[in-house]
Structure formats: C-alpha cells, structure tokens
Chains A and B, each alone.
Chain A
Amino acid sequence: MRPEDIIDDYVAAVAAQLPARQRKEIAAELHSQLMDELTAAEARDSDAALALVRRYGRPAEVAARYSTPVTIIDPADTRSFAIAAMAGALLVPPVNPRLPISVDRPVGSLLVLAWIGTLVLFFAARAWAIRRWPERFVFTPKPPRAAINIPAEWCAALALIMLEVVYLSPAPIVDFVSGGRVPADHLAYSTSFVQPLRMWWFALMLPLIAALHFTAALRRSWNAIARALASLFLISAGIQLNWNASYGDILANVTNDLAARLTFQLAGSVLVLLGLFALYRQWASVSLPELKRRFSQA
C-alpha cells in the first residue's frame, strides 16, 4: 500500500465521523497537514505513514477533537444509569411459569431492552437539559432529617408482630374481623403449605426483623450490622414468599389459592426490592458524625 493511500484512507475514516457541515473542509485540511508531516518524515514510506496516523489517534477520537462531541449519557450520570438499569431489570416479571405472574423468556428480554431504551432516552434528555439550563440543576440542600424516627420504629415493630399473627392463623382473625361474613375455611392453609420447610421460614424472619426495630427504638439508634441484618432478613423473607408462590398451593380452598399465591408473589417482590434498596442506601451513605469522631481521634 502506498503511503498516500494510507493517508487517504485515514482521512476518509475521520471524515465519515465528522458533522456534515464540517466534513469537506476538515478533511481537506487534515489531508494537507498529514501530507506535510509525511513529507517532513525521514523515511517517506508506508511504515512512516502508518506510524503517523496511529500517532494521530483513532479516527473516532480525532473526529471528536474537532468539535464538541454529542453526549447521549453524561459521564457523570453513568453510575446512576447503571443502577437504574439494574433496578429496572429486577422489576421485570420472572420467567417462571409456576408463578401467578410470569412472562416468556423473549418477552422478559424485550421488557429489559425496552427499559434500557427508555432510560437512554431519559438520560439523553436530562444531559441536554443540563447543558441547556445549567442553573436549574445546581445543588439544593435538603432540610436535615433525624437519624432515627423512634415512633416509626415502634410502629414498624408492632406492624411486623401483627403481620406474624395474621400469617400464622389467618382464618380465625379474618373470621373475627369480618364478623363471620368470611368463613374461616376459605383462608385455611393447605396441608402442603404447613410443612416445616414451607410455612415456618417466613414466620421466623418476621420476629427477627421486629426485634431489630424494637432494639433500634430502645437504643434510639441503628448500628450498621443491625441495619444490614434487617435488610438481609427482609430479602430472605421476600424470597421465601416468592418461593412459596411458585412451589405449590398455599390455601386449601382452590378458588382462593390463586389470589393467595398472587399476594405472596407481589408482597415477596416488594420485600426483596425494599431490602435491596435499604442495602444500597446503607452502602452508599456516609455517617458524618461517625467520620468526624474517627478523624478527631486520629
């Protein structure tokens, strides 16, 4: 290959990635500059031409240097984009025909792709808006929040205990609450469900999480291990509910069983997502009082 051919090919590759209005002008100038460089080189051969264009850079990078490249996703938003993409993928219904809500594999893949496409559009619009109106995206401080909401911790613990009671014996409670209008046998668990491996794992998780909330309310603070344990128990409880929804019947009454499995699947998915979100927030947050204490000791 002649050295001139290498330069021509390189200029064509750069020109193809330039905006149309600049293409001819920059290509002519780049060609003239590279030919000047080649003429001045000690050996005016193909190796020298190849070394020259390689030193100049990858055509796409060179084209980007001539103008401000359009950014679809701002580099500063890449992390948020990746997290949003993963979180959205978790919301796509599972590919498990034994669950009340499930999708075929192609539909699941399409939903994930549709979510990523939507995110790309959203982040592209956001990047454009930030460039267009930078003053609207300046940092705005939020009002300070208490480190722990004691009444909310008590309420969470009590709600979990109540949920435990309802979970262990739904029929008598619904019979009592409805004044006998809902017959108890409509909500009686099936013999398969009351096996130790199915019913009791979830029943074990709820008091554990409640105990952690009680402890936090009494101590007026959460420590990192307790918070992480609460999130992990929540995820474990959610997985249990989903597994039960897919494993088999929950209620003895066939008509109500589908509704029960559906409730288990939805509640389980919410618990898993809440647990993951809590874990992420804990991982991403810094405790400034703790940092200040640590640095003042150092």
Chain B
Amino acid sequence: MPKPAHSVTNFEQELRRGVLTLAILSQLKSPQYGYSLRQLLGAHGLPIEEGTLYPLLRRLDEQGLLRSEWKIADGPPRRYYARSAQGERLFRELSAVWRSLAATMQNLMEKGR
C-alpha cells in the first residue's frame, strides 16, 4: 500500500531550498546584515526562516563567496555581508543555469498539461 503523500508545503520547501544560495547572492550586491536580508527576501516573496538563513550566510562566507565585516550603523554592532569576487562569478554562472532551468521547466510543464 503506498505511503500517504507529503503535503505540498514539503515539496515547496524543497524547491525553495534549492534556490536559496542564488536568492541570497542576488540580494548581496550591496552589504546587508542578517535581519535586513531576511526582510528584503521576504518583501520580494521569498520568506526564509531565520534558522536557515543565518547559518547559510556564515557557510557562504567561509566558502569565500561572501565578504563580511562588523559595523556599527544606526544600532548595535552587526555583521554585514556582500558578494565577494568569487561570489560574483558564482552569481553570474548560477543565474545562467537558473534561466536555462526555468525555461526547461516551463517547457516541460506546458507539455505536461
């Protein structure tokens, strides 16, 4: 007997997880701190849980894709992140992959109707 299907939310979360890195890189042309980036992504329709976003920022920083520094600007000290040169290259490459993937998916979904 087949197992009950997962809820749509689970599949949606999986889809969103796959595009997180690209979404983050897209918004870090200029420096942002964790909370402001989360608000920015949420305002563009991509809400991300804080427990997912903040550790991911840190990992991207350690991989050299972001550069970060502590700053004090209108409030307590915060760590600001922006794309590094390596992150810039990755952003361009991933953007091309995303466009190609989106076109392929569009094509597949239209044929699947």
Contact = CB atoms under 8 A, between A and B. Distances in A.
Interface of A: 26, 29-30, 32-37, 40, 52, 55-57, 62, 65-67
27 contacts: A29-B34, A30-B54, A32-B33, A32-B34, A32-B77, A32-B79, A33-B35, A33-B50, A33-B54, A34-B50, A36-B33, A36-B78, A37-B50, A40-B35, A52-B50, A55-B50, A55-B51, A56-B49, A56-B51, A57-B51, A62-B51, A65-B51, A65-B52, A65-B55, A65-B56, A66-B59, A67-B59
Given A65-B55, A66-B55, A66-B59, A35 B76 contact: yes
Given A26-B58, A40-B35, A66-B58, A32 B50 contact: no
4 nearest CB pairs, A to B: A65-B55, A36-B35, A56-B51, A33-B34
A35 B75 CA distance: 11
Contact of A36 (B34, B51, B52, B59): B34
A48 B3 CA distance: 37
B102 to A, nearest CB: 28
B76 A29 contact: no
B35 A37 contact: yes
B49 A55 contact: yes
B49 A29 contact: no
Contacts of B78: 32, 36
Contacts of A26: 58
A55 B51 CA distance: 7
Interface string B73-84: 000111100000
A62 B56 CA distance: 11
Contacts of A67: 59
Interface string B91-109: 0000000000000000000
Interface string B57-93: 0110000000000000000111100000000000000
Interface in B7-56: 33-35, 49-52, 54-56
Contacts of A55: 49-51
A35 B34 CA distance: 11
A32 B76 contact: yes
A234 to B, nearest CB: 34
A35 B54 CA distance: 13
B71 to A, nearest CB: 11
A199 to B, nearest CB: 49
B13 to A, nearest CB: 15
B35 A62 contact: no
A130 to B, nearest CB: 22
Contacts of A33: 33-35, 50, 54
A111 to B, nearest CB: 40
Nearest to B52: A65
Contacts of A57: 51
Contacts of A35: 76
Nearest to B49: A55
Contacts of B58: 26, 29, 66
A14 to B, nearest CB: 10
Nearest to A61: B51
A56 B58 CA distance: 15
